[in-house]
């Protein structure tokens, strides 16, 4: 049985030699996509179509329910949104919220930078960071609000405290894991140029770990925005002018359901703008251009 297989030889064939031919007569080797194909390749266009579909469904269902105290229609909400925007009430509330958010977000990032620097420079610092992150990351920021109110009272202080908590761990954890996954060759290349200490971290580690850092910043932002709105539902920033969460709470008390929806829409829109305009353009200019992320 095995003998014929052992004796098998590939068949002898004549060699083939060819000149490559001029194929310009064939027409274009590549052709441009049609306008419709290019349009549907735009993620923005596809997403807009989905949004229009959702708005239409909402409008139809709202008309079917016919109770604007429970579910105002899409256009009623747009009208309310226009009203509160024109009167300056909503923009004012949004600004108040964003101001607090900026303070909390910046402070959170600064603290994360300190913790991560400690973690990369000493082993004890790394243990400290991983222990603290493991402890506090699963703790919802809003659960700290009662404590914050006790310590800092009603006002900006409490909000900033819970915001820092929501930003700090996500950013620190991602930055640290980004640092530890910087390739050894890149580190050695940096040291070879004579970089050490803080300049080494700033000019090699931070850009090399930028995809992870950016992920941390995005997660931190999403946590912070949600936490802020939730915390503001409990109390305004100060008694006179509250933030966006307080606006939603107030309008519900006044049974202006359309305005409640308008407030929620504002929350969503701001979230989307930061996510898909701010962060997306940072991504496009950095990690995508550098080929570190598709």
Partner 1 sequence: MDQASAPLLEVRGVTLQYKTDQHLVTATWRVDFDVHPADRFVLLGPSGCGKSTLLKGVAGFMAPVEGTIALKGRPVERPGPDRMMVFQEFDQLLPWKTVEDNVVFPLEIAGRAKGLEARERARATIAKVGLSKFREVYPHMLSGGMKMRVAIARAMAMEPDILLMDEPFAALDALTRRKMQEELLALWDELRFTVLFVTHSIEEAILVGSRILLMSPHPGQVRAELNAGTFGRGQIDTPEFAALARRIHDMLFAERIESEGRAGHG
**Dihedral angle computed from the Cα positions of residues 252, 253, 254 and 256, in that order, rounded to the nearest 10 degrees:** 10
Choices 20-28, 191-199, 220-228, 238-246 (CB under 8 A): range interacting with partner 1: 191-199
Q: Which position among 33, 49, 124, 189 is part of the footprint of partner 1 (CB under 8 A)?
A: 189
DSSP letters for 203-231: IIIHHHTHHHHHHHHHHHHHHHHHHHHHH
What radius of gyration do the chain's Cα atoms show?
Answer: 29
Query: Is the Cβ–Cβ distance between 81 and 93 less than 8 Å?
Result: no
Output the smallest distance, CB 180 to partner 1, in A: 16
Burial class (CB in 10 A: 0-12, 13-18, 19+), 127: exposed
Output the smallest distance, CB 285 to partner 1, in A: 11
**145 phi and psi, to 5 degrees?**
-60, -45
125 vs 207, beta carbon nearer partner 1: 207
Stretch 167-186: interaction string toward partner 1, x if CB under 8 A: ----------------x-xx
Q: Which position among 194, 197, 254, 255 is part of the footprint of partner 1 (CB under 8 A)?
A: 194
Q: Which position among 103, 195, 264, 265 is part of the footprint of partner 1 (CB under 8 A)?
A: 195
Our finding on whether 282 is near partner 1 (CB under 8 A) is no
Q: Could you tell me which of 155, 274, 152 has the C-alpha nearest to residue 220?
A: 274
| Chain contacts with partner 1 (rule: CB under 8 A) | 183, 185-186, 188-189, 191-196, 199, 203-204, 207-208, 210, 286, 289-292
């Amino acid at each position: 049985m095995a003998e014929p297989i052992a004796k098998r030889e590939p068949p002898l064939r004549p060699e083939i030699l060819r000149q490559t031919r001029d194929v310009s007569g064939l027409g274009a080797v590549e052709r441009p996509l049609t306008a419709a194909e290019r349009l549907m390749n735009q993620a923005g266009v596809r997403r807009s179509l989905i949004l229009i579909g959702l708005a239409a469904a909402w409008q139809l269902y709202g008309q079917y329910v016919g109770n604007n105290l429970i579910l105002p229609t899409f256009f009623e909400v747009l009208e309310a949104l226009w009203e509160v925007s024109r009167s300056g009430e909503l923009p004012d509330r949004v600004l108040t919220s964003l101001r607090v958010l900026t303070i909390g977000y910046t402070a959170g990032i600064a603290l994360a930078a300190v913790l991560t620097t400690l973690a990369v420079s000493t082993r004890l610092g790394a243990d400290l960071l991983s222990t603290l992150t493991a402890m506090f990351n699963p703790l919802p920021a809003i659960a700290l609000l009662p404590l914050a109110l006790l310590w800092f009272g009603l006002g900006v202080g409490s909000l900033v405290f819970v915001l820092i908590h929501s930003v700090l761990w996500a950013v620190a954890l991602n930055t640290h894991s980004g640092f530890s996954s910087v390739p050894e060759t890149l580190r050695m290349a940096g040291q070879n140029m004579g970089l050490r200490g803080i300049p080494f971290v700033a000019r090699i580690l931070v850009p090399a770990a930028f995809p992870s850092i950016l992920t941390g910043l995005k997660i931190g932002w999403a946590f912070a925005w949600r936490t802020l709105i939730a915390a503001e539902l409990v109390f305004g920033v100060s008694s006179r002018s509250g933030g966006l969460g307080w606006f939603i709470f107030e309008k519900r008390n006044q049974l202006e359901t359309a305005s409640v929806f308008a407030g929620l829409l504002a929350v969503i829109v701001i979230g989307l703008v930061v996510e898909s305009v701010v962060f997306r353009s940072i991504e496009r200019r950095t990690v995508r251009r550098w080929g570190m992320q598709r």
